[in-house]
Amino acid sequence: MPQQTRTHRVAPTLAAVTALATAVLGLTLSTRAAGEPAPGGLTDGWAGAGMPEGPAGRMLLAAPGGYPVTGIDVSHYQPDIDWKKVADKGAKFAYAKVTEGTHYVDDQYRKNLSGAKRNGVYFGAYHFARPDRSGGRTQADYFLDRAQYTNDGRTLPPMLDIEWPYKWDGKYVADHPCWGRSKSELVKWIRDFTERVRERTGSATMIYTNPNWWNPCTGRSTSFGRHYLFVSSYTDKVMGLPAGWDHWTLWQYANHGKLPGDQNVFNGSLSDLAALASNPLGPMPKLVVGDWDGDGTMTAGLVTPAGEHWRWRLTNQRGTAPVATGGTDPLLTPDLDFEYGDVEKAPIVGDWDGNRTWTPGTVDSEGKRHDYYLANGFRPGPADVHVGFGDVEDVPLVGDWDGNGTFTPGTADADGKRHDWKFTNSLTDPKTEVKVTVGDAGKTPVVGDWDGNGTYTPGTVDNDGERHDYYLVNSLTATTAEIHLGFGGVYTVPLVGDWDGDRKSTPGVVDASGTTMRWLQLNSLVGGDLPDLAFRYGETGILPDPQPSPSPSASTSPSPAPVGDPAVPMSPRPMSPPPSAKPGLNRLPIVPKV
């Protein structure tokens, strides 16, 4: 492919131009400078941060002709944006950074989200990839937990920024240019991230990259052409695309201009942009497990938006031993169907009053702390308990930390190399009563009663490799894992619960690759490939995926190797069918319709 001419990120040497433009437009322009510290002293990148020094091409000062739908991408480097003026000056869409790795949250994201949407700007969130730090699924969860994605017809697909490592204080933050990873490792990392986005939102991923990074670092992978491409090319036309794509959706053509942040155009009309934001599949249901009837055994639940509230569909039925090949697992039905909780808050479940029955709750992650709104029954209405606990940047958890039968809040901090856990044993006067540091911060935190003594303790789940790996401890003083087991294909959704009433929490997974969700559960901590129980519960909203005819310009993502016996098939969640037409670089993209 032709070489893409690149320019380095513009620093304050443009101060005079910036001052004049600010006076004329009344807008906050990019003031980002190399080596400028991020909030809290953390390093963080942006869309284009890794752009190498090179011969300066002609940077466009206005949007390229033929693309009337313009937009921007921003981060905390453009503070206090006046979104009304942004909209008045013609921006129709925007992306804003929300996270990087599992160590950084952009402190301007919430203001950018509310400001853009309040002024009618289509809005999307992006994550700066750090393949050097942790796995793709782990970072996708960290990103989505903070992005507040909603299928409201105004939210653009979640975006992955995958490019060169950037420099901080004159040094690269990771091995350059490919983050110290092999080509196959990077392809797997991107696949894990995009599959997790699909599982949780129903959406394909907007991938921000360019051919000069993508082709050498992924080995010219063609596995992602069914995702949307956000290409960076600081030239008067797009000079080639990464392998696997034959058209682009968004083009970042300059890193400064009349609007704040980077300057972009959309490859289509305003109605095409609306279709891009429609996400007809919608998010998959959130999965919960709990003891809804107090019989000591945990069963499945689904939580979906219903207007402004969550709709809870919980079943008291249990699975059976997996059927032989060709058979059908039992299809379970809800026993409870009700609404509770604001959809802007995350759903949780637990036993808040010690009566052995698990009931709903929600967690609000705005402000300086987590706020819990807990109900002691299955019904609409106000919360029975409201309690605040834990730094809002940490992962909220609930469990029985002292064995008294009542669940209380906790958090897990992933800023360092290991998780820092903090727990309170009170719902009336919540103070940190237990602290423990254990578990690799690059793995997903979980809690459960692993030894059946009535007390919940920490664990982590590794979402890399071919299966989920669990690292668990049986005390609140341990510093290293005491139990290690593996269960479930890594592309499945991991869960933990007491599936057989023996009081011990064990792994389970949900395979959401077909039209219905298949739940697979293990009743021991020995591990293995074969589940003890299996059933189907909940629809995914995904239609069967017809395979396209092979062509040089498009291919499907290779399936991960199945885990376990052929009698327990597992397969990755399919993507939406690709468009039949193959537009060229300057033709309109095909946007999926309902």
Residue whose tokens read 């991960």: 560
How open is the CA angle 251-255-261, to the nearest 5 degrees?
Answer: 95
Cα atoms in the Cβ-side hemisphere of radius 13 Å centred on 159: 27
Active site positions, annotated: 73, 161, 163
Distance CA 461, CA 464 (A): 9
Distance CA 94, CA 284 (A): 25
The letter for the amino acid at 201 is T
Distance CA 362, CA 521 (A): 25
Residue burial 154-176, b: 16+ Cβ < 10 Å; e: rest: bbbbbbbbbbbbbbbeeeebbee
What's the 3-state SS for 136-166?
Answer: HHHHHHHHHHHHCCCCCCCECCCEEECCCCC
Question: In terms of C-beta density within 10 A (0-12 exposed, 13-18 middle, 19 or more buried), how is residue 431 classed?
Answer: exposed
Residue 390 · residue 398 · CB < 8 Å: no
Query: Quick one: DSSP state of residue 331?
Result: B
What are the tokens at 76? 């905390």
In Å, how far from its chain's centre is CA 204?
A: 12
Distance CA 562, CA 93 (A): 40
Residue 427 · residue 420 · CB < 8 Å: no
Give me the helix-helix angle, 183-201 and 136-147, nearest 10°.
40
